Amino acid sequence: MTFRYLLFYKPYGVLTQFSASEGGQHSTLKDYIPVPSVYPVGRLDRDSEGLLLLTNDGQMQHRLSDRRFYHPRTYWVQVERIPDAAALQQLRQGIEIQNYRTRAAVVQLLGAEPDLPPRDPPIRWRKQVPTTWLEVTLTEGRNRQVRRMTAAVGFPTLRLVRVAIAHLRLTGLEPGQWRDLTQTELKQLNQLTHPKQPRV
């Protein structure tokens, strides 16, 4: 079997699946990616955007999806209001949400609004409520984790864009575009996922 490794810039509103949505109301990966037998590594919610890795390499898919292996994922997150130092420290140290505690994360305020394509539809905007952007790097990928983390410290997420999975970056892709990994990217990915004793 020939393995394929693709990067895709998932637009807002697209479901991270190839099967048709219930009632056919939403776009899926099938509307953008004509490559057979590849599957997404992890997920992005319908209302999230950004980098998605797809492959037909089952072992790599497992090692990048299993939270025991600590692979970094970086997000740009627009939140309501401006988090103070205490809230940022909570996010960095880990937070109790639902029935688990999140791992330590790398969290920083972005100095300016990142250069991203406009979202369609745009976020809800309230004149009296400022917003700010954070860069958040996690080593786990639980369901709606970033949104739950920012909500838990009082700063709800308005827009969420995954910009990196380890060394793989969103750079050079527009929403709805995909490409194969370069040989250099694939070599680095193989080094990252080379079998070794996972941390537990």
In this structure, the answer to whether residues 36 and 65 fall within a common structural domain is yes
What pTM value is reported for the model? 0.92
CATH code of the domain in which 22 resides? 3.30.70.580
In this structure, the answer to whether residues 161 and 90 fall within a common structural domain is yes
CA distance 29 to 52: 10
Q: For residue range 111-161, list pLDDT tens digits in order.
A: 899 999 999 888 887 778 899 999 999 988 788 999 999 999 999 999 999
In this structure, the answer to whether residues 171 and 121 fall within a common structural domain is no
In this structure, the answer to whether residues 85 and 154 fall within a common structural domain is yes
* Active site amino acids: 45
In this structure, the answer to whether residues 143 and 177 fall within a common structural domain is no
State how many domains the chain has.
2
Region of 132 on the Ramachandran plot (φ > 0 left; ψ -120 to 50 alpha; else beta): beta
- Residue 3, domain extent: 1-69+167-200
In this structure, the answer to whether residues 79 and 57 fall within a common structural domain is no
In this structure, the answer to whether residues 148 and 189 fall within a common structural domain is no
Helices assigned H by DSSP within the chain: 58-65, 85-93, 145-152, 183-192
CATH code of the domain in which 152 resides? 3.30.70.1560
Q: For residue range 68-113, list pLDDT tens digits in order.
A: 677 899 999 999 999 999 999 999 999 998 888 999 999 999 989 9
In this structure, the answer to whether residues 20 and 62 fall within a common structural domain is yes
In this structure, the answer to whether residues 135 and 107 fall within a common structural domain is yes
In this structure, the answer to whether residues 60 and 38 fall within a common structural domain is yes
In this structure, the answer to whether residues 174 and 194 fall within a common structural domain is yes
Spatial contact of 29 and 19, defined as CB atoms under 8 Å apart: no
